[in-house]
């Protein structure tokens, strides 16, 4: 039987999460020629830029409205108007996202009203300017992303003639994941639109000459047309689920909010939904990929079965990973997220009942809480982002890096954890880590008779 463990501490020690504006910034990179203005103090722009540059290993450009003492007293209106103008004139962007911060929210700046005023003053500038609420004391980095998608869905799509496309909202994933999703679509010959697609802009090649805006990202026309899709599939409940529902309510586009396609069953669900929406059969190549993943799990199950694991990160990622490790016969012991979600603990409880698991489900928690648990009852493996490296190091367990940020290793943003191919990658990675841990001996857990 699993239990939901609430964190009683006031202090957060080794937080698991970043703050909201970074989510809106990330999503904006998926639109070609779009730029973000962070309405707050310079640090609120520079910190996330730095964090993203370390994860994606790409130039990450975000403007700031550069609030200082006086603006916090008189309000940030003037700075924001100047910032929009500056960014527009200098870069000629297709769209501007203005995300709020702790600072601008606390002083009560009404960003939508400022944008309206700007548009009134500059009627010749007719690009969309999107206001996204992202104070970091409400929610987490994924909240900022989610709010962005919701605002985008409300502001830009226009219902005209039906197209044959499927809107896919992958949520907070890596460029590698988006590529994998696009490959699945192309293998099934489905015309899809990924909202938003930063697979090229944040994992770009080296071109000469360097383009003014990085190659890639979806266009505004495509976003407009997204109101005419056959359906919307959100692949994370917490990032994009709301937007999918907006498409349904506003434009009558059927919404499917699925678990993140990590592992066999979840990927099957995604593929099945795609096939149902479009009437397209599952391609032979996808069936082979599925068979290969099954083969990989069969090959490794004697090593992975019974291994204990702790998993942390964004709620949907963790939920997906739990299902995958269970498919591999492993025992998730501690599963943790920083997000305060009503549905997440319930969904994990449901998973627990389905597979008769014994997990401690830890919502709205931090890495220190996981560490303390691991000290009392060790696990064989840790799965999560780079910030868990200190724990892994101290407890001498391997860390499988997944999620955001992975800043102490290269190339993880290029990898996929979704789909059958992502599954094979994870299965191999996990198995090899277990093997490497103690030479041929897998783990203490496995040597015990139960």
Partner 1 sequence: MAVLKCDATIPERDKHILIKGEGQDGKCSIACNSATTPGDMTERGCTYAGCRGVVGGPVQDAIQLTHGPIGCAFFSWGYRPHIADSDFHMKYTFVSDMDESNVVFGGEKKLLQSIIEANEAFPEAKGVFIYNTCTTALIGDDGKDVAKIATEKIGKPVVFFPCEGFRGVSQSAGHHVGNETIFKNLVGTAEPEEDSAYSINILGDYNIKGDLRTFEPLFEAIGLNIVARFTGNVKVDELKVMHRAKLNVIHCARSATYVADMMETKYGTPSINVTLWGIENMSKALRDTAAFFGLEHEAEKVIKREVAKVMPKIEYYRKRLAGKKVFIYQGGPRAWHWPELLAELGMETIGAATTFGHADDYQKIYEKVNDGAFIIDNPNVPELEEILLTLKPDLFISGNKEKYVAYKLGVPFVNGHTYETGPYAGFSGMVNFARDMDKALSAPVWKLVKDMAQPVPGGLEEEVA
Residue numbers at the binding site for ligand SF4 (CB under 6 A) = 19, 21, 40, 43-44, 47, 101-103, 136
Q: Could you tell which of ligand SF4, partner 1, none binds residue 123, using a CB distance below 5 to 8 A set by kind?
A: none
Tokens describing residue 115: 């944008």
CA gap 299, 46 in Å, rounded? 46
Place of tokens 């969904």: 347
CB 55 within 8 A of CB 175: no
Q: Could you tell which of ligand SF4, partner 1, none binds residue 15, using a CB distance below 5 to 8 A set by kind?
A: partner 1
Q: Which residues contact 57 (CB under 8 A, 6 or more apart)?
A: 410, 413
CA gap 381, 359 in Å, rounded? 15
CB 310 within 8 A of CB 370: yes
Helical (H) or strand (E) element with 429: helix 419-437
* In the complex, minimum distance from the CB of residue 306 to partner 1, in angstroms, rounded to a whole number: 30
Q: Could you tell which of partner 1, ligand SF4, none binds residue 309, using a CB distance below 5 to 8 A set by kind?
A: none
* SS3 state of residue 188: coil
Given the complex with ligand SF4, which of 19 and 233 has the nearer CB atom?
A: 19
DSSP category for residue 17:
-
* In the complex, minimum distance from the CB of residue 274 to partner 1, in angstroms, rounded to a whole number: 27
CB 36 within 8 A of CB 63: yes
CA gap 80, 112 in Å, rounded? 11
Given the complex with ligand SF4, which of 9 and 50 has the nearer CB atom?
A: 50
Q: How would you class 248 by CB atoms within 10 Å of its CB: exposed for 0-12, middle for 13-18, buried for 19 or more?
A: middle
* In the complex, minimum distance from the CB of residue 341 to partner 1, in angstroms, rounded to a whole number: 14
Q: Could you tell which of ligand SF4, partner 1, none binds residue 164, using a CB distance below 5 to 8 A set by kind?
A: none
* In the complex, minimum distance from the CB of residue 166 to partner 1, in angstroms, rounded to a whole number: 23
* In the complex, minimum distance from the CB of residue 141 to partner 1, in angstroms, rounded to a whole number: 8
Q: Could you tell which of ligand SF4, partner 1, none binds residue 68, using a CB distance below 5 to 8 A set by kind?
A: partner 1
* In the complex, minimum distance from the CB of residue 134 to ligand SF4, in angstroms, rounded to a whole number: 7
Given the complex with partner 1, which of 103 and 255 has the nearer CB atom?
A: 103
* In the complex, minimum distance from the CB of residue 71 to partner 1, in angstroms, rounded to a whole number: 8
Q: Could you tell which of ligand SF4, partner 1, none binds residue 54, using a CB distance below 5 to 8 A set by kind?
A: partner 1
Give the phi and the psi of residue 35 in degrees, each rounded to 5.
-130, 155
Q: Could you tell which of partner 1, ligand SF4, none binds residue 355, using a CB distance below 5 to 8 A set by kind?
A: none
CA gap 310, 372 in Å, rounded? 12
Given the complex with partner 1, which of 66 and 266 has the nearer CB atom?
A: 66
Beta strand 255-257 with 308-312 is unpaired
Q: Could you tell which of partner 1, ligand SF4, none binds residue 353, using a CB distance below 5 to 8 A set by kind?
A: none
* In the complex, minimum distance from the CB of residue 112 to ligand SF4, in angstroms, rounded to a whole number: 18
Given the complex with partner 1, which of 78 and 295 has the nearer CB atom?
A: 78
* In the complex, minimum distance from the CB of residue 12 to partner 1, in angstroms, rounded to a whole number: 4
* In the complex, minimum distance from the CB of residue 289 to ligand SF4, in angstroms, rounded to a whole number: 40
Given the complex with ligand SF4, which of 103 and 370 has the nearer CB atom?
A: 103
Given the complex with partner 1, which of 117 and 268 has the nearer CB atom?
A: 117
Half-sphere exposure (Cβ direction) of 245: Cα atoms closer than 13 Å: 11
* SS3 state of residue 401: strand
Tokens describing residue 44: 């609120």
* SS3 state of residue 29: coil
Given the complex with ligand SF4, which of 40 and 170 has the nearer CB atom?
A: 40
Given the complex with partner 1, which of 67 and 310 has the nearer CB atom?
A: 67
Give the phi and the psi of residue 434 in degrees, each rounded to 5.
-65, -40
Q: Could you tell which of partner 1, ligand SF4, none binds residue 74, using a CB distance below 5 to 8 A set by kind?
A: none
CA gap 80, 66 in Å, rounded? 9
Q: Quick one: residue 403, left, alpha or beta (phi over 0 = left, psi -120 to 50 = alpha)? A: left
Given the complex with partner 1, which of 137 and 449 has the nearer CB atom?
A: 137
* SS3 state of residue 332: strand
């Amino acid at each position: 039987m699993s239990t939901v463990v609430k964190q009683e501490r006031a202090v957060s020690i080794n937080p698991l999460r970043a703050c909201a504006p970074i989510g809106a910034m990330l999503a904006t990179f998926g639109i070609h020629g779009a730029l973000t203005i962070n309405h707050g103090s310079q640090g609120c722009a520079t910190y996330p830029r730095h964090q993203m540059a370390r994860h994606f290993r790409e130039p990450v450009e975000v403007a700031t409205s550069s609030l200082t003492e006086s603006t916090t007293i008189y309000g940030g209106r003037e700075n924001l108007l100047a910032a929009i103008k500056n960014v527009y004139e200098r870069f000629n962007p297709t769209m501007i996202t203005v995300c709020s911060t702790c600072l601008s929210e606390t002083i009560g700046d009404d960003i939508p009203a400022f944008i309206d005023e700007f548009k009134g003053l500059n009627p010749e500038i007719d690009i969309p300017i999107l206001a996204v609420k992202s104070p970091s004391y409400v929610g987490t980095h994924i909240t900022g992303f989610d709010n962005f998608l919701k605002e985008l869905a409300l502001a830009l799509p226009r219902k005209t003639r039906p197209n044959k496309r499927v809107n896919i909202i992958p949520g907070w994933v890596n460029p590698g994941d988006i590529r994998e999703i696009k490959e699945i679509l192309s293998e099934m010959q489905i015309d899809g639109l990924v909202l938003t697609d930063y697979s090229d802009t944040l994992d770009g090649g080296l071109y000469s000459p360097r383009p003014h805006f990085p190659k890639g990202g979806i266009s505004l026309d495509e976003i407009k047309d997204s109101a005419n899709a056959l359906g919307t599939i959100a692949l994370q409940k917490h990032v994009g689920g709301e937007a999918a529902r907006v498409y349904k309510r506003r434009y009558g586009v059927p919404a499917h909010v699925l678990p993140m396609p990590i592992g066999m069953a979840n990927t099957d669900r995604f593929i099945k939904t795609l096939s149902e929406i479009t009437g397209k059969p599952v391609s032979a190549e996808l069936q082979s990929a599925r068979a290969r993943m099954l083969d990989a799990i069969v090959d490794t199950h004697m090593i992975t079965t019974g291994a204990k694991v702790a998993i942390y990160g964004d709620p949907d990622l963790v939920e997906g990973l739990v299902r995958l490790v269970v498919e591999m016969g492993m025992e998730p012991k501690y599963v943790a997220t920083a997000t305060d979600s009503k549905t997440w603990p319930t969904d994990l409880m449901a998973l627990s009942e389905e597979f008769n698991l014994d997990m401690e489900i830890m919502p709205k928690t931090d890495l220190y809480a996981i560490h303390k648990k691991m000290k009392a009852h060790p696990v064989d493996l840790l799965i999560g982002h780079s910030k868990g490296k200190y724990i892994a190091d101290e407890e001498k367990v391997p860390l499988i890096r997944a999620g955001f940020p992975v800043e102490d290793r290269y190339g993880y943003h290029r990898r996929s954890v979704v789909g059958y191919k992502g599954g094979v990658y994870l299965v191999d990675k996990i198995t090899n880590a277990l093997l490497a841990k103690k030479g041929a001996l897998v783990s203490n857990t496995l040597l015990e008779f139960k």
